[in-house]
Chains A and B, each alone.
Chain A
Amino acid sequence: MEKRQVVLPTLSRVAVCGGTHGNELSGVYLVRERLKKKKVVEEEEHVSVVTVMSNPRAVQHCRRYTETDLNRCFTRATLSSPVTDKTPYEIVRSQELNSLLGPKGSPEATDLVCDLHNTTANMGLCFIAYSDRDWISLHIYRHLQRQMSGIPVRFLHFDLPLNEAYSLDSVGKHGFAIEIGPQAHGLVRSNILSAMQEGVQHMLDWVRLFNSGAQFEGGQVEVYTMVKNVDYPRDPETCGLTAAIHPQLQDRDFCLLRPNDPLFQTFSGETLKYKGTEALYPFFVNECAYYEKGIALSLARQRSVGIPSIRSEREGERGKFKSAAEEIEEEETEEEGSPIEMECEKQSGSL
């Protein structure tokens, strides 16, 4: 259990992004309504909030993307690739967004980027981030868990270094996606939009409190770390699906999948079982957009993470405390026999 207190710089600039996938409509509508009611940049006493429609062309066509998935365009390599008139729209746009909200990895980057998404999977509200030690993200997660009773709130961790992090939220100094499902793409469900509005509101409330000097006690939170993807069984000639997610797994995201549990049902009615040796937690079960990425579901390990008490830097303290990154580096060398698993398998493929 973390007993020390960590002091972190204030989050003076926050970005709320929607429409990164143009058919994930909760974020699109939320951003549209924010832009209608308020200025694009809201300057308040403790924080400046930028609202961004990430992929306006995809939003106009109500499609996930027009040429390539925008939310895979934020790796260092793609952000620094030269632009020609043959460059896909989304790569051009990712570089624009990097200028607006980044540059990624620099001191000028937006303090916190929150990117809003929907999924067809029954995932409730999920934070998705690249670090399981970003105390800002984890405290915001815990805050939403405590404030929101109508929907399960979870934290998903994809263990990738910053250079390889491919999504929009990786542009900020701190960042995460908020993914809410189940919702079909191309439509708005009132309960899902309400949950997203509530989540964003609680997040901004927490940021204001943090920036005004409040202290947030430490504790333990549960985190799911991505282990691997599993594809559908496919016809070797046509690559078409030969089975669908089993009815006993459908809609059961985050319900433990044990070895020999039903996984797929073939079109001839046969049950295919999970052949892994480790019980894992499924998520993104039957996400529409992942068929083309060869993902039927993803699997995660769950564990408890200790978070320290935190507060923001006071006026005279600037530069006195280590940056968050330095904190993490020091922690890694200090801890011995840590239960934290650093190794992640990321192969997609068979059962």
Chain B
Amino acid sequence: MTSISNVSCFNEARRVAIFGGTHGNEMSGITLVNLWIKNGKEIQRKGVETKPFITNPRAVEKCTRYVDTDLNRAFTTENLSAPSGDDLPYEVKRAQQINEIFGPKGSPDAYDVIFDLHNTTSNMGCTLILESSKDHFNLQMMHYIKKAIAPDSCPVLLTEHPLLKYSTSRSVAKHPIGLEVGPQPQGVLRSNIFESMRVVLKHALDFIELFNEGLEFPPCSVDVFRVWDKMDYPRDTNGNIIAMVHPNLQDCDWEPLNPGDPMFQMFDGTTVRYEGVGTVYPTFINEAAYYEKQQAFVTTRRETLVAGAIKKA
């Protein structure tokens, strides 16, 4: 690890948003945000304006992931710059509204930090999602959170990938952070999952408060899992799924998958094995919402990122 003597200065994180209901059936975030809209005391921090916000109210009302199209894929340049009109899908219109309130994406007026709260049916624990390996502010925050909740773990998923990265609702902010907590069925609220998400957010907001007060955070390294590839289910000629995640792989998010390890179990009982080169770390294993996205699980590779020292400008 090279020693970095420069300290990167970032502007104070003055405007912070907490998004819930980007997917209308992911209940922890919806419940927390509604709680904080009613009484925001828990999320208040000195010098920070924290705004809880339900991003997809129509989907929340119907307790469905989305109404017309996945909001968390809708923040593309094309969508955000499309001429507004009634014939646009609901979520595209919503993305434009969100971009107006919390962005514009990529501009100096955008919100400093957005936390986007999600649940997954996968056994991912409390996963933090990082979009850029160069975001030292976020890396330092994630390092802080990981230390604070130890010995419980908080894996970091880095979604920086030329093809597989997608345009999230949080991407409107300068520092977007995804929080993905599971396993929890869609439409269900589990106490333990709800509390875990709440604790992680508490530490995240504490970090921001400390940063804004002028604390300097020394260089640190953060172990991350970088998205590598996605694996679909075996399908028949009609596109129907003909196998399921193998019992040896089910619930084993973040554990090594080696070439030759069981991956799928066909309905006739035969085993399909992983034939990649080298060990990967699968995640989003058996996420219900990804059946339609042709994704049984995502493979990742381990990497250590180094964040330089940071302090408030």
Chain A residues, Cβ within 8 Å of B246: 190
Q: Which chain B residues (144-199) contact chain A, with CB distance < 8 Å?
A: 183-192, 194
Chain B residues, Cβ within 8 Å of A250: 190-192
A251 to B265, CA, bound (A): 27
Contact of A240 with B by CB under 8 A:
yes
A188 to B31, CA, bound (A): 27
By the criterion CB–CB under 8 Å, are B288 and A185 in contact? yes
A29 to B188, CA, bound (A): 23
Chain A residues, Cβ within 8 Å of B34: 240
Q: Indicate with 1 or 0, residue by residue over A234-250, a CB within 8 angstroms of chain B CB atoms.
A: 00000011001111001
Chain B residues, Cβ within 8 Å of A289: 187
By the criterion CB–CB under 8 Å, are A120 and B247 in contact? no
Nearest-neighbour CB distance to chain A for B39, whole angstroms, equals: 9
A189 to B289, CA, bound (A): 14
By the criterion CB–CB under 8 Å, are B190 and A184 in contact? no
Q: Indicate with 1 or 0, residue by residue over A145-177, a CB within 8 angstroms of chain B CB atoms.
A: 000000000000000000000000000000000
By the criterion CB–CB under 8 Å, are A288 and B185 in contact? yes
Contact of A189 among B189, B190, B286 (CB under 8 A): B286
By the criterion CB–CB under 8 Å, are B190 and A241 in contact? no
Contact of A187 with B by CB under 8 A:
yes
Nearest-neighbour CB distance to chain A for B32, whole angstroms, equals: 8
Contact of B185 among A29, A120, A190 (CB under 8 A): A120
Q: Indicate with 1 or 0, residue by residue over A247-285, a CB within 8 angstroms of chain B CB atoms.
A: 100100000000000000101000000000000000000
A37 to B138, CA, bound (A): 53
Nearest-neighbour CB distance to chain A for B35, whole angstroms, equals: 5
Q: Looking at chain A's contact residues, is the secondary structure mostly helix, strand, loop, or mixed?
A: loop
A187 to B187, CA, bound (A): 13
A19 to B265, CA, bound (A): 22
Contact of A105 with B by CB under 8 A:
no
Contact of A241 among B31, B121, B184 (CB under 8 A): B31
Chain A CB count within 10 A is highest, among B121, B184, B185, for B185
Contact of A321 with B by CB under 8 A:
no
Chain B residues within CB distance 8 Å of chain A: 31, 34-35, 63-64, 121, 183-192, 194, 240-241, 244-247, 250, 265, 267, 286-289, 291-292
A267 to B286, CA, bound (A): 29
Closest to A197 in B: B267
Contact of B286 among A32, A187, A247 (CB under 8 A): A187
Nearest-neighbour CB distance to chain A for B268, whole angstroms, equals: 9
Known: A187-B121, A187-B287, A187-B291. 8 other contacts (CB 8 A): A62-B291, A184-B184, A185-B185, A185-B187, A186-B291, A187-B286, A241-B31, A292-B63
Q: Looking at chain B's contact residues, is the secondary structure mostly helix, strand, loop, or mixed?
A: loop
By the criterion CB–CB under 8 Å, are B247 and A241 in contact? no
Chain B residues, Cβ within 8 Å of A32: 240
Can you list 7 contacts pairing A with B, beta carbon distance less than 8 Å?
A186-B291, A187-B121, A187-B291, A189-B245, A244-B31, A244-B194, A288-B188
A184 to B26, CA, bound (A): 12
By the criterion CB–CB under 8 Å, are A191 and B247 in contact? yes
Chain B CB count within 10 A is highest, among A120, A190, A241, A246, for A190
Nearest-neighbour CB distance to chain A for B16, whole angstroms, equals: 21
A241 to B30, CA, bound (A): 11
Contact of A184 among B186, B240, B241 (CB under 8 A): B186
Contact of B250 among A29, A189, A292 (CB under 8 A): A189
Closest to A32 in B: B240
By the criterion CB–CB under 8 Å, are B250 and A244 in contact? no
Chain B residues, Cβ within 8 Å of A187: 121, 286-288, 291
By the criterion CB–CB under 8 Å, are B185 and A241 in contact? no
The 5 closest A-B pairs by CB, nearest first: A184-B185, A186-B288, A288-B187, A187-B288, A120-B185
Closest to B289 in A: A186
Closest to B251 in A: A189
A120-B188 contact, Cβ under 8 Å, with A187-B288, A189-B250: yes
A265-B191 contact, Cβ under 8 Å, with A184-B183, A186-B291, A190-B245: yes
Contact of A193 with B by CB under 8 A:
yes
Chain A CB count within 10 A is highest, among B247, B265, B267, B289, for B267
Chain B residues, Cβ within 8 Å of A267: 31, 35, 194
A247 to B246, CA, bound (A): 29
